[in-house]
Amino acid sequence: MSGAIQAVVFDMDGTITAPLLDFPKIKAEIGSPSDLPLLEAIAVMPDPERARAEGILLRHELAAARDSTLNPGVREALAAVAAMGLKTAVVTRNCLDSVDIVFAKHGLRFDAVLTRENSLPKPDPDGVLIAAWRLSVPPSACVMVGDYEFDIQAGGAAGAVTVLYAPVPRQFTTVPDFEIRSMAELPALLKALLGPRVL
């Protein structure tokens, strides 16, 4: 694995930004089944109901994006990633409009951005695979960093190294390759994966 890493793929909500979306509240407002993830529940709704649900979700997503704050250590971690010469991407289940708001508010830039409009939502590996293709690196040369099981499942299925960002320990059925408690830990982990070329 030493020296193989060329890119870091980040989840957005809960990883880059502090989590603000109250999914149980959104699902209750939409009236979606509690046993299905939100996007998957919306996808199987009849057309008129689905359009209404998408509007509710969009309203919540845009509000969360406008109120967003970066997680502690994110800006420093991104600077360290750039200093290592690694490419970056965001793969999110969020909509593109919310991503644009977050990036503009916080002055963020990534080499590739995949949202639910241009890739299948995680846990499908589609977004990670497309991100790798856009970055011109093999998926196995990517590190997928996220705060939820879907991130780990998507990254693992794509063949990427997976890192769970969990400020509070979380137990998932899918086990990540690595786990960090803060974004401040990410640069040291990436340096270890890169090997001796990074001092």
- ∠ CA 87-189-80 to the nearest 5 degrees? 45
Read off the pLDDT of residues 98-134 as tens digits, 9 standing for 90 and up.
999 999 999 999 999 999 999 999 999 999 999 999 9
Per-residue confidence (pLDDT) for residue 111, from 0 to 100: 98
Ramachandran area for residue 196 (φ above 0: left; ψ -120 to 50: alpha; else beta): alpha
Please report, for the chain, the start and end positions of each structural domain, with discontinuous segments joined by +: 7-19+69-194, 23-66
What is the reported pTM? 0.92
Rounded Cα distance, 55 and 69, in Å: 23
Beta strands in 56-155 (DSSP E): 87-91, 112-114, 142-146
- pLDDT for res 197: 56
The fold of the 7-19+69-194 domain, in CATH, is: Rossmann fold (3.40.50)
